Chain A
Amino acid sequence: MMAKRLPGTSRPLRLSRPPAVALVCLGLFLLCCAFVPRFATFGNIENVLRVASILCVVACGQAVVILLGGIEFSFGASAALASVVTVMALPVLGPVGGLATGGASVIAIGAVNGFLVGRLALPPVIVTLGTLMMASGAAAWLVGGLPIDAPPSAAFSWPARGRVLGVPVPILAALLACAALHLMLAHGRIGRLWYHVGANPVAARLAGLDVTRITTLGYAVAGAFCAVGAIILTSRVASGQPALAPNLPFETIAACAIGGLPLSGGRGRVSQVVFGVLTVAMLNNAVVLINLPVAWQLVLLGLAVLAAVGLQKDWAVLARLARRTDR
């Protein structure tokens, strides 16, 4: 009987179990539909998805870093810097070139973070806080503290407002980002290596893996996800904003934590990130619709994160207890 299960090559195709957060997400959706006025309208749902899509793209990057056992605080600041760089490059390089330059700056910051964490073994919290402050400062310095407007153009607003076959571009970008991350994590070599380094970096080194390179690449790929999010954000606000998305790192970390990714690394699936993002987006939307002050978004989000992490810990304890009584 045991031997039959071992080959594994002829395993029947089965869908993997949905993550626990899917239930939470569904429950919140039903609650919102029932009790939040104007939530269950087509326009509002599309609006939630639009907001969620940007968050989702960036959260995919955050998930890579968390998988590696790290954490990324610099996303919001680098997105802000990207918007400033984009608008300043606009007159010279045009809309496409400008957005590409802005995106490249985010990837560069990600790669620097990766180098500092991977090669120099500095703690990720400190490294990404450092780059957060530098990017934030640089963005404010470049524009002299005030936002600068971008001249309106169709190409420039396409990432935020365009549609492909009726689907808004940001939602399409989120779907593509999820698909790309899923391929990397489930079937790609690099994703597998991220899991190994996140689960036990010492064992990864002794197994012969190049931990430095894997980590550096992970932060750079995370930067690439964030770059896509930054391009959409910049296009949406049509200006260079030195304080563009200060809560972006917190919201993406919250999405991953609510999704059930342990911050110790080594575990996580794309579906968890998606449901975590949807939960965060619905919470934010509900706060606005119920006419609570917007500041409550952060309060609620913080509560949700604490609850999620607390539950995770609880579940782990329960699982361990169950295992002990098994023996």
Chain B
Amino acid sequence: MSASDDAPSDDTRDDLALVATGIAKVYGATCALRSARLALRRGRVHALLGENGAGKSTLVKILVGAVTPDAGHIALAGAPVAFGSVTQAIRAGIVPIYQHLSLFPELSIHENLSAFALAAGGGLWTGRRLVDPARARGWLKEVGLDVDLAAPLGSLSLGERQLVEVARALSLDCRVLVLDEPTAALNADEADRLFAVVRRLCASGTAALFISHRFDEIEALADEVTVLRDGRTVIDAAPIGRHSREELTHAMLGAGVEAAPARLSERAAPVLVGRGLAAGRHGRGSLDVIVHAGEIVGLAGLIGSGALSLAATLGGAQAGPGELSVGDASFMPGDRRRAAALGIAYVPADRHAEGLFGALSARRNASVSGLGRLARLGWLRARAEAQMVDPLLRRLKLHPALPEAEAATFSGGNQQKLLIARGLAVPGLKAMVLLEPTRGVDVAARGVIHDAIREAAASGVAVLVATSDLDELMVLAHRYLVVREGTLAAELPRSAPRAALLAALSGSAAA
């Protein structure tokens, strides 16, 4: 390792293409970025790693000009810059390639390649000229595409379209190429082709920022890596190979607290049984999961592993192959209504989009799954509703303790308590499936929610918790199921050390 590789903090080196330091961004009560640093060097591919909520996407949005930071400095080739819009950033040479392609399938390849030139064009009419076909063909050649300029973009495969997007970046003086999970929709061949193009571009001096969750890709393409955790840069521009996968995973997830011993209840009869399930859209239907009465099973997996998807399937929220049963009754994946009727509570991962009824009161949020029990001849008994839900809200220490206040007015932690209360109020509760039950939740609420989950298990409910939070997993679960790349990679006992879990999560050989 040369000496220059070991000096990532020196911002004055002249091979730096882009340096962002002390970047901070606050959204309402959430601190998305506290103090992030990112230094990209000319001619290098730089990988950016971080779990969901680490601030990765916010940092990328800031770099491409979509979001203005609250604090921090960005320097492009040594000169300070501040972008007010994506257009400004693109003109300065920071070109984003999105996972959701930002091209126009109905237009021709030529028109798509001219998009930046058209956007830059002045008047209503003068700007309508397309770029010189010879130049356009040159860019296509550079990314290795041999296609007719007049053909509609829609006639190309997804991988080829992504290459067109890269070719379009060549129409500008592209200094930094930002690739945000560019391979999400590509097959292995298309990804290889894209990588080859990125490498060739970098060889001519462009810097590339590469965001991906797949270690294989990162190791194959990137020269350097930066890891974000909790809005801060925890590994700053380290050369690839200096840190093992395990160390990187550890950096992403944090050292955390030592696991507190949970009361282990005795193994009892299987309650929630899934057979032939799939984790993720591309997974094969071959996974079996059994959760016993009184047991808390921790389903672990990095983002994109399929862990959340498998958990959603087990809760009846997501359709897919396989079959599910609770007790003697069976139900199909995706039949959430029947699952709820059979006593399966489900707490979704995305609180606002999938869980909360913001316009309705806290009490109504908590009682919704038990309305059938509260109604007599179609008439809701208000007193019975309060009697069913209010003790739960008290136990979860809802604050402020106003069950008639609108759910939208509560803090994130207290909103999450409402979803937990809703789960606990499911009539005939037999199993609970919780996805990221304490994501974005403060420490106090987290403790209360964990206690409630343990209490439910102690009373004989089968609990499955899917979380990317390793600490949470270790304080809650009686055993761990590790999902990696759509398969159940490992089953570990509660006594398994943290290192073993990390190894299983990241898929490194050393256990």
User: Which residues does A use to contact B, with CB under 8 Å?
Assistant: 2-3, 5-9, 187-190, 192-193, 195-196, 198-200, 202-210, 266-267, 323-324, 327
Residues of B within 8 A of A323 (CB): 409
| Docked-complex contact A208 and B394, CB < 8 angstroms | no
A194 to B360, CA, bound (A): 11
B378 within 8 A of A: yes
5 more contacts with CB within 8 A, not counting A196-B368, A206-B348, A324-B28, are A6-B402, A196-B364, A200-B357, A204-B357, A206-B317
Q: Can you give 19 A-B contacts (C-beta < 8 A)?
A: A5-B401, A6-B390, A6-B398, A6-B403, A7-B386, A7-B390, A8-B403, A9-B386, A9-B387, A188-B380, A195-B357, A196-B368, A199-B357, A200-B353, A200-B357, A206-B348, A208-B337, A209-B337, A323-B409
Contact of A193 among B359, B371, B379 (CB under 8 A): B371
For the complex of A and B, list the 8 residue pairs with the smallest distance between their C-beta atoms, beginning with the closest. Answer: A208-B340, A2-B401, A266-B359, A199-B357, A189-B375, A8-B386, A199-B359, A207-B368
Question: Which B-chain residue is minimally distant from A262 (CB atoms)?
Answer: B359
| Docked-complex contact B378 and A189, CB < 8 angstroms | yes
A323 to B401, CA, bound (A): 18
Question: Which A-chain residue is minimally distant from B338 (CB atoms)?
Answer: A208
Question: Which B-chain residue is minimally distant from A268 (CB atoms)?
Answer: B359
Residue from the set B341, B348, B357, B403 with the largest chain A CB neighbour count within 10 Å: B357
| Docked-complex contact A203 and B355, CB < 8 angstroms | yes
A154 to B418, CA, bound (A): 58
Residues of A within 8 A of B360 (CB): 195-196, 199, 266
In the complex with contacts A206-B355, A207-B340, A208-B337, A5-B402 CB distance below 8 A = yes
Report A69 CB to chain B, min CB distance, Å.
11
A189 to B382, CA, bound (A): 11
Residues of A within 8 A of B341 (CB): 208
A326 to B374, CA, bound (A): 36
| Docked-complex contact B29 and A327, CB < 8 angstroms | yes
Residues of B within 8 A of A8 (CB): 363, 386, 390, 403-404
Residues of A within 8 A of B359 (CB): 195, 198-199, 266-267
A-B contact count (CB 8 A): 100
Residues of A within 8 A of B363 (CB): 8
Report A145 CB to chain B, min CB distance, Å.
42
A2 to B399, CA, bound (A): 9
| Docked-complex contact A200 and B336, CB < 8 angstroms | no
Question: Which B-chain residue is minimally distant from A4 (CB atoms)?
Answer: B401
B339-362 at interface with A (beta carbon < 8 Å): 339-341, 346, 348, 353-360
Contact of B358 among A9, A200, A202, A210 (CB under 8 A): A200
B175 within 8 A of A: no
Contact of B369 among A3, A6, A207, A267 (CB under 8 A): A207
| Docked-complex contact A3 and B371, CB < 8 angstroms | no
| Docked-complex contact A210 and B337, CB < 8 angstroms | yes
A192 to B339, CA, bound (A): 21
| Docked-complex contact A9 and B336, CB < 8 angstroms | no
| Docked-complex contact A203 and B354, CB < 8 angstroms | yes
Report B332 CB to chain A, min CB distance, Å.
14
A216 to B282, CA, bound (A): 34
A188 to B354, CA, bound (A): 25
In the complex with contacts A207-B422, A208-B369, A188-B378 CB distance below 8 A = yes
Report B347 CB to chain A, min CB distance, Å.
9
In the complex with contacts A188-B380, A209-B337, A3-B394 CB distance below 8 A = yes
| Docked-complex contact B29 and A202, CB < 8 angstroms | no
Question: B363-400: contact bitstring with A at CB < 8 Å (1 yes, 0 no)?
Answer: 11000110100110011101100110010011000111
Residues of A within 8 A of B369 (CB): 207-208
A209 to B387, CA, bound (A): 21
Question: Which B-chain residue is minimally distant from A267 (CB atoms)?
Answer: B359
A144 to B481, CA, bound (A): 71
Residues of A within 8 A of B368 (CB): 196, 204, 207, 209
| Docked-complex contact B401 and A189, CB < 8 angstroms | no
A198 to B360, CA, bound (A): 10
Report A39 CB to chain B, min CB distance, Å.
37
A3 to B391, CA, bound (A): 10
B400-417 at interface with A (beta carbon < 8 Å): 400-404, 409
A207 to B399, CA, bound (A): 23
In the complex with contacts A2-B400, A5-B402, A187-B340 CB distance below 8 A = no
Residues of B within 8 A of A327 (CB): 29
Residues of A within 8 A of B371 (CB): 189, 192-193
Residues of A within 8 A of B379 (CB): 187-189
B252-290 at interface with A (beta carbon < 8 Å): none
In the complex with contacts A8-B403, A207-B340, A207-B369, A192-B357 CB distance below 8 A = no
Residues of A within 8 A of B375 (CB): 189
| Docked-complex contact A195 and B401, CB < 8 angstroms | no
Report A260 CB to chain B, min CB distance, Å.
13
Residues of A within 8 A of B354 (CB): 200, 202-203, 206
A192 to B369, CA, bound (A): 12
A188 to B375, CA, bound (A): 8
A324 to B30, CA, bound (A): 12
Report A216 CB to chain B, min CB distance, Å.
15
Contact of A195 among B339, B355, B364, B426 (CB under 8 A): B364
Residues of A within 8 A of B356 (CB): 200, 203
| Docked-complex contact A199 and B358, CB < 8 angstroms | yes
| Docked-complex contact B386 and A203, CB < 8 angstroms | no
Residue from the set A3, A8, A192, A203 with the largest chain B CB neighbour count within 10 Å: A203
| Docked-complex contact B380 and A187, CB < 8 angstroms | yes
Residues of A within 8 A of B353 (CB): 200, 202-203
Question: Which A-chain residue is minimally distant from B393 (CB atoms)?
Answer: A6
Residues of B within 8 A of A202 (CB): 353-354
Question: Which A-chain residue is minimally distant from B355 (CB atoms)?
Answer: A203
A199 to B406, CA, bound (A): 12
B306-329 at interface with A (beta carbon < 8 Å): 317
Residues of B within 8 A of A188 (CB): 378-380
Report A267 CB to chain B, min CB distance, Å.
5
| Docked-complex contact B386 and A3, CB < 8 angstroms | no
A208 to B369, CA, bound (A): 6
Contact of A266 among B357, B380, B426 (CB under 8 A): B357
Report B442 CB to chain A, min CB distance, Å.
13
Report B34 CB to chain A, min CB distance, Å.
18
Residues of A within 8 A of B422 (CB): 207
Residues of A within 8 A of B398 (CB): 6
Question: Which A-chain residue is minimally distant from B317 (CB atoms)?
Answer: A206
A193 to B148, CA, bound (A): 55
Residues of B within 8 A of A6 (CB): 390, 393-394, 398, 401-403
Report B459 CB to chain A, min CB distance, Å.
21
Residues of B within 8 A of A203 (CB): 348, 353-357
A208 to B359, CA, bound (A): 19
Residues of B within 8 A of A193 (CB): 371
In the complex with contacts A2-B400, A189-B378, A206-B390 CB distance below 8 A = no
Residues of A within 8 A of B404 (CB): 8
A204 to B360, CA, bound (A): 12
A210 to B340, CA, bound (A): 11
Residues of A within 8 A of B357 (CB): 195-196, 199-200, 203-204, 266
A187 to B376, CA, bound (A): 11
A266 to B358, CA, bound (A): 9
Residues of B within 8 A of A9 (CB): 383, 386-387, 390
Report A109 CB to chain B, min CB distance, Å.
24
Residues of A within 8 A of B336 (CB): 205-206, 208
